[in-house]
A and B are shown apart, each in its own frame.
Chain A
């Protein structure tokens, strides 16, 4: 039914958190070892013909001109072609998407996509403001990462009566999910009251409406679908890929109650997979801020426009609900190291679809797979105008 030209045969990631003790290069090395280890039947590194590395470190901390050698040159793969991807918050998922295109084109049989980010190498002040003021020094003055999403919340509240309580429920759900996932940065539960009592960062966001600053690295090995059996008994296929864009500046958007880029990416991915939102068992979506996940429900088609607040309130998005959203803890609890966020989301979805979530046999954490489709989503970048959606499946056809 779906595209299914590419199979995921191995995933691996480091526990998200504050890796003050590890260098950027060490994290790349460890993620690489984790993914080799994650290939069920094993893999000879010589099989890997090409690589893609996703990272925003240049924009984040002035370590400019990072290129493909940062992957190939430090893990014993020097010589193979590697392309570096930087594409806002969907950097990790776009890295995967480009690797898939490389394999699907017939150019390579086996490829690696690796994402890495050291968000905590600088203070959050320097990180957030550097991102927020990107694009234009006058027009973006005083911009911060929360200020890219908070105006959407204000408008959604104004037009649809979405409440701060409903927004807080996103954090409550995702923090709970995070406590079940050993890879999550945050490992504690919160209540709606905790969210309201936490410091106001950028109205209408309290700090617990926001994702943390997290270091992370994750990697995925893919191959031609017909070669998957060499490496695993449980291949996961790429059923659909989508990438949508919007205007450069937030002010150029028509509406602040949706991310059109997400809708465009989702439309492409659903079409390619030949399915609809109702076929998704589990999703890892972009919840950099509480409102983002509410908008995602609507933009990805899980509910009607304006009903995102109700969708969280009635439990539709919890594990065991209509569609389990962010069982890993999401960006909110697991973390959001830009360059690897999408790859870590896919890692979670691969575990879920294979029925071997880590820790294994954790019933609370394992989503019941009925239709066999999982959706990954990121949205962000300047003007929140970039989105990638990936649909993966355990169904061969």
Chain B
């Protein structure tokens, strides 16, 4: 059996800014829009949403994941594995390998190739691959007009694949077109006319031609062709040069989401898989930092067997809220509110939190075997608070429920954003949980409103990002 994709999920933040709004601020124009992370989102919180979608869609138990390979250029850390949080959220064994791939918008393909090698070598059976980015861009720069945010995750394995990976052809040269030094806060770029021709166009063409020649195949054999989209223009140019027909492409995402970096090609690929039929051939082509990968996939008959209803790319693209440039700058942390930041009582590296991360992220409660009460969090409870029993067992808790009561804070020091809802939600398992709200409009919050817990950044202190669950309104019909 060949290695392929067992399930996939995507995530796009709901905020958008019109590129023309950015242009207006700096005296230029601009077309289309791009996705923007909310004030409490980062590449990890986005990835967790995509991962949960991917696991649900696969119908596979997350316990079968043997490794997590994460491709991104937006990790909060240069040293320290940010993605280990994904393993904690899924509640996987500490033997599950976590590895990060970075340095290029094609970082996700590096992760995918490593995943295939790990499986082919027989070391693991299934790998969770994540490709996500929300790269910061300097105010007033060309890249500010394009850099968007998105996350993708997929399970790679041999069993129950919905699309098999036939081959990957990689072409790489020492081309420096976009880069970010450790001393830089933002990605830099060189003369666009030069890098377009010798960078993207040359590498993508060569990789595709190499793939077709190696596999004795032709462009018209592919029902779907997906290209990495660093902007709206050059993929079209390459498409023309390679003879890609309009019906082979699902339409551009860069015009609605921006350049989503490591997730760009995968968002296109999973959009194509949403529409694909058994037997379809897909060609997906990456590009970044002088490297292009042409990936051929064949859709299997399992494509039609829906495991669970998860949010599709189309729904994420459609569900959006336009924000203005000022809000964009605040949400992305380019400008900050004055005042002393609200500090944690204990830092994210304190033993208090380090001993609690697994139960907080995997969301475990200590259920009393005598009276049934769920004690939370387990590390704080040796005895059941209701009956005093010591017969407690950790159980995984539901993250869905409804609002029991709430309030809305209108004055908050940075980095908290007011108005800020504080919600007490009654979860399906019977636990009442207190958390901040996210993506909420104050007037829309009501007692009994359905809500779900999503992982978000609570704060960054001592250079460590602290995550926690927040309540988000459950929307129906998307």
Contact = CB atoms under 8 A, between A and B. Distances in A.
Interface of A: 125-126, 129-130, 133-134, 136-144, 146-147, 150-155, 158, 199-205, 247-253, 256
Given A151-B422, A251-B432, A256 B342 contact: no
Contact of B424 (A138, A247, A256): A256
B410 A201 contact: yes
Given A142-B416, A158-B447, A200 B410 contact: yes
B420 interface: yes
A250 B424 contact: yes
B186 interface: no
B169 interface: no
B466 interface: yes
B346 A158 contact: no
A186 B340 CA distance: 28
B409 A151 contact: no
Contact of B458 (A141, A153, A252): A141
A304 B439 CA distance: 39
Interface residues of B, number: 40
Interface centre among B404, B420, B466 (most CB of A within 10 A): B404
Secondary structure type dominating chain B contacts:
mixed
Given A139-B435, A142-B412, 16 more contacts: A125-B340, A134-B345, A136-B380, A138-B353, A139-B377, A141-B459, A141-B468, A142-B416, A142-B420, A143-B422, A155-B404, A205-B407, A248-B380, A251-B424, A251-B434, A253-B432
Contacts of B442: 203
Given A138-B468, A252-B432, A256-B424, A152 B409 contact: no
A150 B360 CA distance: 26
Nearest to B357: A138
22 contacts: A125-B411, A137-B352, A137-B353, A138-B458, A139-B377, A141-B468, A142-B416, A142-B422, A146-B409, A147-B422, A153-B407, A154-B407, A155-B405, A199-B410, A201-B409, A202-B410, A202-B411, A249-B434, A250-B424, A251-B376, A251-B434, A256-B424
A147 B447 contact: no
A152 B422 contact: no
Contacts of B419: 203
B405 A152 contact: yes
A141 B385 contact: no
B93 interface: no
**Those 6 A-B pairs whose CB atoms lie nearest each other, nearest first:** A150-B407, A155-B405, A203-B408, A251-B434, A151-B405, A137-B344
A139 B436 CA distance: 9
B459 A154 contact: no
A210 B49 CA distance: 39
B345 to A, nearest CB: 5
A343 B355 CA distance: 41
A126 B343 CA distance: 9
A61 to B, nearest CB: 14
Contacts of A253: 432
A154 B407 CA distance: 7
B356 interface: yes
A202 B420 CA distance: 9
Given A141-B458, A252-B385, A154 B406 contact: yes
Interface in B432-469: 432-436, 442, 447, 458-459, 466, 468
A253 B340 CA distance: 33
B215 to A, nearest CB: 51
Contact of A133 (B344, B356, B468): B344
B413 interface: yes
A252 B380 CA distance: 13
B351 interface: no
Contacts of A126: 340
B477 interface: no
A137 B447 contact: no
A203 B437 CA distance: 14
B342 A202 contact: no
B339 interface: yes
Interface in B275-309: none
A262 B336 CA distance: 42
Contacts of B411: 125, 201-202
A252 B407 CA distance: 17
